[in-house]
């Protein structure tokens, strides 16, 4: 128990330190990513790094499901390093207020937005783990209550609870809660924030990724690159997503749980797909 508490305390300390260093744009933090960090060759971070540097100072992102802006976030270091512009969406008010809005408060041209993406403007019920606000729990929030229930049935919630010294409440009403969150359509998002180019559409939507790709009407909005999670899509939805993107002239490659789609016109990145 003592070892667990020490380990847990250190992880919390490091998480808070890293967050504060990033939020304050600490010189040492930025120096590391600008001059010392080197992603593994041929990896997804390597693509993001090369792509970002090729458009340094003029890189525009839309991120769906930004959460706290740093934990398990594949683009955070590049946003900081190369001063990206764009809009980052996170629908959970507490996560937005306590984390996302703070970590990018010093970034002109980059707008954190407390909203989810949807086909129409309005609001929608978001389901989440009701007894924890830890990052693993907030990262599982979904518009599908069945999706959250399956996380309990498959032992995913139990595994995270054991790892973090938590117990699952016996009361089902405490296990899963919900709240109404703001929803904005891609059309309104693009118009409101004067988005004239989408260099990267970054999606982490807990199994809702195919719908997000459809919402953005790829032939019209023309994102140059799209990154989304493939592991939460069933085989039929994943294949539908791949067919849609191939029909719009994207190269595709899986990097573990993530899939990268890049317009074939960006020929300088063809080597990532060979």
pLDDT at 57: 85
Confidence at 6, pLDDT banded by 50, 70, 90: low
102/223 same-domain check: yes
User: Which one of 179, 205, 222 terminates a domain?
Assistant: 179
Given a cut of 80, is residue 59 above it in pLDDT? Answer: yes
Given a cut of 80, is residue 3 above it in pLDDT? Answer: no
134/216 same-domain check: no
Eight-class DSSP state of 35: I
Question: pLDDT for 214-239, tens place per residue?
Answer: 999 999 999 999 999 999 899 999 99
106/151 same-domain check: no
Any domain includes 196? yes
User: Which one of 179, 201, 220 terminates a domain?
Assistant: 179
Give Cα separations from 150 to 109, 119, 136, 146 (angstroms). Answer: 39, 25, 15, 6
Angle of CA points 95, 98, 104, to nearest 5°:
95
Given a cut of 70, is residue 207 above it in pLDDT? Answer: yes
Any domain includes 205? yes
Question: Across all residues in the chain, what is the average pLDDT?
Answer: 94
151/81 same-domain check: no
* Domain CATH code at residue 231: 3.40.50.150
pLDDT at 36: 96
pLDDT at 9: 73
135/269 same-domain check: no
**Across 155-184, average pLDDT:** 95
Any domain includes 27? no
pLDDT at 1: 53
Any domain includes 9? no
56/159 same-domain check: no
Any domain includes 52? yes
What CA–CA distance (Å, rounded) separates 85 from 186? 17
What CA–CA distance (Å, rounded) separates 46 from 139? 24
Any domain includes 107? yes
What CA–CA distance (Å, rounded) separates 254 from 64? 19
84/219 same-domain check: yes
Any domain includes 17? no
81/194 same-domain check: yes
102/206 same-domain check: yes
Number of structural domains (the chain) is 2
197/249 same-domain check: yes
What CA–CA distance (Å, rounded) separates 117 from 111? 15
Question: pLDDT for 76-104, tens place per residue?
Answer: 999 999 999 999 999 999 999 999 999 99
Any domain includes 245? yes
175/197 same-domain check: no
Question: 10 vs 21, which has greater pLDDT?
Answer: 21
| Range(s) of the domain holding residue 128 | 124-179
165/204 same-domain check: no
CB atoms within 10 A of CB 76: 21
Given a cut of 60, is residue 2 above it in pLDDT? Answer: no
């Amino acid at each position: 128990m003592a070892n667990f508490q020490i380990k847990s305390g250190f992880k919390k300390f490091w998480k808070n330190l890293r967050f504060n260093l990033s939020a304050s744009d600490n010189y040492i933090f930025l120096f590391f990513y600008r001059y010392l960090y080197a992603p593994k060759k041929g990896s997804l971070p390597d693509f993001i790094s090369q792509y970002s540097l090729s458009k340094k100072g003029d890189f525009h992102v839309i991120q769906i499901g930004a959460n706290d802006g740093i934990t398990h976030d594949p683009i955070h270091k590049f946003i900081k390093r190369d001063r990206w512009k764009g809009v980052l969406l996170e629908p959970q008010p507490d996560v937005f207020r306590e984390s996302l809005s703070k970590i990018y408060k010093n970034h002109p041209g980059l707008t954190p937005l407390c909203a989810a993406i949807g086909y129409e403007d309005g609001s929608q019920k978001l389901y989440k783990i009701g007894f924890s606000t830890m990052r693993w729990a907030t990262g599982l929030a979904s518009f599908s209550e069945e999706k959250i229930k399956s996380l309990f049935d498959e032992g995913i919630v139990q595994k995270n609870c054991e790892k973090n010294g938590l117990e699952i409440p016996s009361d089902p009403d405490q296990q899963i809660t919900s709240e109404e969150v703001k929803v904005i359509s891609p059309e309104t998002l693009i118009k409101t924030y004067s988005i004239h180019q989408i260099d990267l559409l970054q999606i982490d939507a807990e199994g809702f990724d195919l719908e997000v790709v459809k919402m953005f009407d790829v032939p019209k909005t023309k994102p140059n690159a799209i990154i989304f999670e493939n592991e939460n899509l069933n085989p039929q939805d994943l294949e539908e997503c791949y067919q849609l993107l191939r029909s719009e002239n994207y190269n595709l490659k899986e990097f573990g749980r993530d899939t990268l789609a890049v317009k074939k016109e960006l020929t300088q990145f063809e080597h990532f797909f060979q």
